[in-house]
Chains A and B, each alone.
Chain A
Amino acid sequence: MRLTEAELSELYRAETARSARQVKDCPSAGAMTRAAAGELSEDEHARWVDHLVTCSDCAAEFQLLRALDSWDAASATAPAMWNELASTEIQARSDAARKGWWPRFSAQMRLPAFGYAMGAALLVSGLLVGWWVFSLRRENQRLAAQVNEQRIAMEKLAAKSDVIDTTDPNLSSGLREVQIANLPTTGTQLSKPELNVRIIDLEPGAANRGESGGALKRVILSKGASFFTCVLNVTGQPSFTNYSLKITNQRGQTMWQGAGLRKSPDNTFTLALPSRLLPAGRYQLKLYGTKPPQHEPVAVYAVQVQYK
């Protein structure tokens, strides 16, 4: 028969196992811990060593205890945190070793190192998301400002375009600009008496005949004229409490509207119009009469303004 040394050792351990010996002569666990701590007397120690030779279970347990003592001695000088870490890690790993992937994963999650790593990762990702949101917000603000500027520019252009559109559509844009530039604009001009102001008699068309109103009255004004006066004639004897006027250009846009007109004893209404208000073009003046609760058109006048 051939035996390796490992087999020899195994056979010996099996032969000296507690269960094989059928003798309950093993020292108590307390005695074993005392032996491990070196607290036995000389005689006790000799008997203890003899026992270890003949009891494989006690030998194995004593080996564990001795290893524990050496680990404990080593850990005694280490900070308490490391003891805790070691114990948590041992517990988590040994529990996880006999289970599936989820317990293993959750055991890893219980380890302090994993917790620190997760915390750091969350912190970094939080900072990155914060920075991303902040940069998005700045970009949005920049775009909003840009859009606003564009809107304001468009509005300015549209306002300018409206003024120009009210003039003769056949005029070139350059000519329109020149015409507008030539209109009296300064306060100095407006504060002077204006001589030879044109007075234009306007005869009404039928108020209910639509935009075309009555016959088109052509008005030719000098370029230096700041005002011209319109006399609005009405047919019949309207008896409204209040009268109002609305001036629209040929596109139907309201140029001006206001109330407070009073009928003269001659059954007319007068108003002075600034030439700045009405650049060259066609206009419609609608006179309304109000007698609560009534509010209805009284007369419509069609005018074409030109400047020479």
Chain B
Amino acid sequence: MESVEVEERFRALMKEYGNLVRWIIAQMCPPSLGISREDLEQEVQLKLWRALHSEREIANPKSYVGRIAQTAAIDARRRVKTRSEEPLLDAAMDAEHPGRELRDERMISPERHAQQEQAKGMIKTELREFPKESRIAVGLHLQGYGARQIADVTGWTEPKARNLVYRGMRNLREKLSEKGIDCETD
């Protein structure tokens, strides 16, 4: 493809899907992460430009452009987390994991902190012993997934996912209780 054609194609795609790109970036990169949306949009444009130059066949332009934007947004999020910019990281984590703020608000004692560190290892170890489906269901549940989302990821039915979560959590509480950690049910 000649560069004039590439440029025309690029402009047409950005005109058509520019808003989609901005929308994806806005959804995936909340302001608390401190990611420059303009820079990210430019990164997406650059990737698209390169793809057009490499004469790659684009069967579904909308899906393709959307995929580029998603990939760029994920990479940007990962870069931010890797940089360990603590204030931004904390803010981002708070936004994504509402439970996190509980720990910060309660001003936990060193003793409590040590107990929690111990509990972390126990949860992971106990879960490793679970049957595969139960482990996946409980693991995803603890990652914040609902029954429908678990079903969506695993391909199970929603009732099956809910049942596995219920039984698995009960099992986990029992195991942790045996080790001195009492878990309340919400």
Q: Footprint of B on A, CB under 8 Å?
A: 1-16, 18-19, 26, 29-30, 32-33, 36-37, 49-50, 52-54, 56-57, 59-68, 71-72, 76, 80, 83-84, 86-88, 90-91, 94-95, 97-98
Contacts and interface: CB of A to CB of B under 8 A. Distances in A.
Nearest to B169: A5
Contacts of A4: 183-184, 186
B180 interface: yes
B4 interface: no
Contacts of A57: 78, 81
A28 to B, nearest CB: 8
B149 interface: yes
B140 A52 contact: yes
B74 to A, nearest CB: 4
A49 B136 contact: yes
Interface of B: 19-20, 22-24, 26-28, 30-32, 37, 62-63, 66-67, 70-72, 74-75, 77-78, 81, 84, 96-97, 99-100, 102-103, 115-116, 119-121, 123-124, 135-136, 139-145, 149, 152-154, 169, 176, 180-186
Contact of B184 (A2, A19, A52): A2
Contacts of B24: 68
A12 B70 contact: no
B18 to A, nearest CB: 9
Interface majority SS (helix, strand, loop, mixed), chain A:
helix
A78 B20 CA distance: 13
Contacts of A68: 24, 27-28, 70
A29 B78 contact: yes
A13 B181 CA distance: 17
A72 B19 contact: no
B99 A15 contact: no
A87 B141 CA distance: 31
A32 B74 contact: yes
A59 B66 CA distance: 20
Contacts of A86: 23
A93 to B, nearest CB: 9
B31 A60 contact: no
B96 A60 contact: yes
Contacts of B30: 94
Given A10-B99, A59-B140, A98-B31, A3 B181 contact: yes
Q: Which 3 pairs from chain A and chain B are nearest by CB?
A: A53-B139, A29-B74, A87-B23
B70 A65 contact: yes
Given A5-B186, A6-B102, A87-B22, A56 B180 contact: no
10 contacts: A8-B123, A9-B143, A10-B103, A13-B99, A18-B78, A33-B71, A50-B136, A52-B140, A53-B143, A83-B20
B27 A15 contact: no
Contact of A13 (B115, B119, B142, B183): B142
A18 B81 contact: yes
Contacts of B119: 1, 3, 8, 11
